């Protein structure tokens, strides 16, 4: 997606060890116009899947996931990283190691929010090693719901996350695919066809 690549190039910051900081439009300050475009794009790619729920992990996945859910006319569920005292009912859980925070969180979703008839689209801000995505998939599978695929805003294609998801049989749609992050430069994957679902 051109506008997203432009935002990454012009407003992103390459940190050491292959980490991209996008606090100006996605992870801290949020650009509503760009999020709206992202929501439209994910919705267009998955519309035929008859999605009934969009699911993400708090907090950075919420903005793009909400716009996608709004476009598809369905509700959004965000997995919590810490169990809230208001979550009195039973929960589905999975342990997720955080790439950026270097700690393990137990993510939870209330059992009451998902049923085996749901068709779920999973959205996240980044795909790196695939831990967050696989944790989300595990939580959904516990509910018996089916997974239509993953919508990823920024995929770091030099890390193994995409391959892990594809190997597990999931459709992956990434709006920006980064080939390399080096010397403060972002290089995108050139072959657009490669970003289509495998
Ligand atoms: P994974 O679980 O695939 O290793 O990492 C995905 C999660 O880690 C994302 O939800 C995101 O919050 C965070 N993450 C991974 N790589 C980056 C990055 O380069 N920049 C930022 N800001 N977050 C990242």
Tell me whether residue 198 is in a domain: no
Q: Quick check: is 108 in a domain?
A: yes
Let me know if residue 196 belongs to a domain: no
pLDDT level of residue 196 (50, 70, 90 thresholds): very low
Output the average pLDDT for the chain: 93
**Which residue numbers belong to the known binding site for xanthine?**
20, 27, 156
Q: Is the C-beta atom of 131 inside 6 A of ligand 1? A: yes
CA 121 to chain centre: 9
Q: Inform me whether the pLDDT recorded for 6 exceeds 70.
A: yes
Task: State if residue 12 touches ligand 1 by the CB under 6 angstroms criterion.
Answer: no
Annotated binding site for 5-phospho-alpha-D-ribose 1-diphosphate: 128-132
Sheet containing 185-188, strands listed edge to edge, beginning at the edge strand earlier in sequence:
75-79, 53-57, 119-127, 146-156, 172-182, 185-188
pLDDT for 50 equals 97
Look at residue 75 and tell me if it is in a domain.
yes
Q: Name the band, by pLDDT with cuts 50, 70 and 90, for residue 198.
A: very low
With a 6 Å cutoff on the Cβ, whether 99 touches ligand 1 is: yes
In this predicted model, what pLDDT tens digit does every residue of 131-154 receive, in sequence order? 999 999 999 999 999 999 999 999
CATH number, residue 7: 3.40.50.2020
Asked if residue 75 has pLDDT above 90, the reply is: yes
Query: For the residues 113-137, what does the mean pLDDT come to?
Result: 97
Tell me if residue 145 falls in helix, strand or coil: coil
| Domain contains 193 | no
Each residue of 9-58: pLDDT tens digit? 999 999 977 899 999 999 999 999 999 999 999 999 999 999 999 999 99
Whether 59 maps to a domain, the answer reads yes
Average pLDDT over residues 60-70: 98
Q: Is the CB of 149 under 6 A from ligand 1?
A: no
Residue 197 has a pLDDT of 41
pLDDT > 70 fraction of the chain, expressed in percent and rounded: 92
Tell me the residue length of the chain. 198
124 lines ligand 1 (CB under 6 A): yes
Asked whether the predicted pLDDT for residue 163 surpasses 50, the reply is: yes
Say if 194 falls within a structural domain.
Answer: no
CA of 11 to the centre of ligand 1 (A): 17
Q: Is residue 43 part of a domain?
A: yes
What count of other Cβ atoms lies within 10 Å of the Cβ of residue 108?
19
pLDDT of residue 184: 80
Specify the ligand 1 atom closest to the Cα of 60. Answer: 12
Cα(127) to ligand 1 centroid in Å equals: 6
pLDDT of residue 102: 87
Supply the range of the domain harboring residue 83: 2-188
Domain count, the chain: 1
């Amino acid at each position: 997606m051109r506008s997203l690549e432009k935002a990454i190039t012009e407003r992103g910051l390459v940190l050491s060890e292959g980490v991209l900081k996008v606090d100006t439009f996605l992870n801290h300050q949020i650009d509503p116009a760009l999020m709206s475009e992202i929501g439209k794009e994910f919705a267009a790619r998955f519309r035929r899947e008859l999605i009934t729920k969009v699911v993400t992990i708090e907090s950075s996945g919420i903005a793009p996931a909400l716009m996608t859910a709004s476009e598809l006319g369905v509700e959004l569920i965000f997995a919590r990283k810490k169990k809230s005292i208001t979550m009195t009912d039973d929960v589905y859980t999975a342990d997720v190691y955080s790439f950026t925070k270097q700690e393990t969180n137990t993510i939870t979703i209330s059992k009451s929010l998902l049923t085996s008839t749901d068709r779920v689209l999973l959205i996240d801000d980044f795909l790196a090693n695939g831990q967050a995505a696989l944790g989300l998939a595990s939580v959904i599978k516990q509910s018996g719901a089916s997974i239509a695929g993953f919508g990823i805003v920024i995929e770091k294609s030099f890390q193994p996350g995409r391959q892990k998801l594809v190997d597990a049989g999931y459709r992956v749609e990434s709006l920006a695919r980064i080939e390399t992050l080096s010397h403060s430069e972002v290089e995108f994957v050139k072959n657009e066809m490669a970003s289509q679902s495998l």
